Structure formats: structure tokens, C-alpha cells
Amino acid sequence: MTPMSRKLQHGNVLTAQDVAALDGLVVNARSVNARENIVFDSQATRDVRLVLEGFACRYKMMPGGRRAIMAYLLPGDFCDLHACILGCMDHAIAAVTTCVVADLPQDQLDAVMRKEPRIARALWWATLVDEAILREWLANVGQRPSDRKLAHLICELRLRLEIVGLATSSYMRLPLTQEELGDTLGISSVHINRVFQQLRQANLVITHGRGLSFPDLMRLEHFCDFNSDYLHLGSACSETAIAF
């Protein structure tokens, strides 16, 4: 099963046939080097692109040369579901690590969605969750102190990796540089270094190279006020399910 289908199962109950139909659309899997663009600014988008492996980011170059990272795309995430709806991109997507990306041909995707409403709803869910994540990021970047900002980002990425089978409650890989984390949270990379030290000293995280382990995940989540409701996970749960 592709990470896309693993993720979409949190948005709606999918049958084995649904998963096969979705995974069968994935074509053109290819490797993209770290720091290369996957989608360029203003590129007209025809097919939906999908991350299968690695970390990618949505970014904008700001006047003055600063880069702002507005989203991370993890395995199973779509690069441009919004752009396909609106017909154009107004920012770029780049591979952060080496990535494997693939395409979903738009016409075939439309046909599958028309034929199987369950699949359509799972994809709607993915579009809505992407937007919900942005609003949570606003609150995070706008209001939390630096140590809680970083902790919150870590908690979110860990959970999103866990649902596609790439992290556990005690360990995740975080292949982001201090500079990238700084461009995400609107703080300098020097400051990120200091904040990481604080989190380590409080025994909230233990770093080993690009790996992070969590002695007590609940304590970390509590520390940064992380509440996963905005990810709308768990299609089986009636209050977060898509409205049908």
C-alpha cells in the first residue's frame, strides 16, 4: 500500500478495491535530489503530484531574500491538490531531503472520484486537513514562545509520520537543518540551536544525529499544548468524520 492510501484511510473508510484503485493511479515515480524544486512558482498544474518518500516543503522567497517555509510534505502528501482546483501555483515546492515523487493523472483521478464517492470524500478530507494545518501553524508561529513553537512542530510532524508508519511514540527521524527549522518558525538558526538545547535539558527530546527520541511523548505534547484535533484523524470517530 502506498503512504497515500495509508493516510487517506484516516479520512474515510476505504475498501481494499478503493486502495487498489487509488494506488493503481500512481505513475512516474522518480527521485528528486535534496534542494531541487518539485514544482516551480507559477507552473501550470495538470497532474497531481505526490510525495512517496522523503520530506518536501512549500516555500516562498520573501523580499529581502529570506525564505519562508509554509508547509512540509511528508510521504503520502499531495503537492498541489489546491493548485489543481485553482489551476495555478503561487509558490514553489522543493525537496528538503532526497525524495521520491510520483504523479496522479488528473483525468484518471477525476474518473475514480466520480465512480467511487468514498475515494472522493477521502481526497476532500486531505484537502481540508491541509488547510487546517496552515491555520494551526499561524497560531504556532504567531503566538507561541520559541521552545513551544519548535516542540509543537515536532509533535505534528511525528504524528503525521506515525500515521504513514514512519515514526513511533518514542522515535522519529527529523531530517531538517536548523536553517530550515528557522525558516519555518520565523526565528534564526542560532536561536533554533539554543531552543533545541532547552528541550534537551528539560529531557523532552533526545537528539541523535537526525533522529529524535522522546522519553515521555505526553509530557512533550502537554508542554507545547499540542492537540491533534486539527488533523481530523480517525475516520471511525463520528465527530471528526467527514459529513455523511
Partner 1 sequence: LLVTNDILLSIFSKAGGLDERDAAAIADLPSREILFRRDMDVSPDIETVFVLLEGWVCGYKLLGDGERQICSIHIAGDVPDLRRLLLMSSDLEYRTLSHCRIGLVPAQLLRDFFSRSAAIPRAVLREVSISAGIAEEWVANIGGRRAISRVAHLLCELVCRLDAARGTQQSTYAIPLTQTDLGDATGLSTVHVNRVLQELRSRRLLELNSGQLSIPDRQRLAEVAGFNHRYLHVAGAALGWR
* Site residues (vs partner 1, CB under 8 A): 58, 60, 62-64, 66-71, 81-83, 85-86, 90-91, 114, 117, 120-121, 124-125, 127-128, 130-132, 134-139, 141-144, 183-186, 225, 229-230, 232, 238-244
Closer to partner 1 by Cβ: residue 55 or 166: 55
Q: In the beta sheet, which residues pair with residue 78?
A: 50
Nearer to partner 1, 1 or 241 (CB): 241
Nearer to partner 1, 33 or 238 (CB): 238
* In the complex, minimum distance from the CB of residue 36 to partner 1, in angstroms, rounded to a whole number: 21
Find the shortest distance in angstroms from Cβ 182 to partner 1: 9
CB of 143 to partner 1, least distance (A): 4
Q: What are phi and psi of 129, to 5 degrees?
A: -70, -40
d(C-alpha 173, C-alpha 175), whole Å: 6
Question: Quick one: which of 180, 167, 178 has its CA closest to 214?
Answer: 167
Of residues 166 and 187, the one with the C-beta less far from partner 1: 187
Phi/psi at 56 (nearest 5 deg)? -125, 165
Minimum distance of partner 1 from residue 71's CB (angstroms): 7
Which residue's CB is nearer to partner 1, number 142 or number 209? Answer: 142
- Least distance in angstroms from the C-beta of 10 to partner 1: 13
Backbone angles phi, psi at 46, to 5 degrees: -115, -55
Burial class (CB in 10 A: 0-12, 13-18, 19+), 116: middle
Show Cβ contacts of residue 17 under 8 Å, excluding neighbours closer than 6 positions: none
The 3-state DSSP class for residue 188 equals coil
Q: Rounded CA gap, 76 and 225, in Å?
A: 26
Q: C-beta of 127: minimal distance to partner 1 in Å?
A: 6
Our CB check for partner 1 shows the closer of 83 and 94 to be 83
Report the alpha-carbon distance of residue 132 to residue 138 in Å, rounded: 10
Partner residues linked to 94 by β-bridges = 37, 57
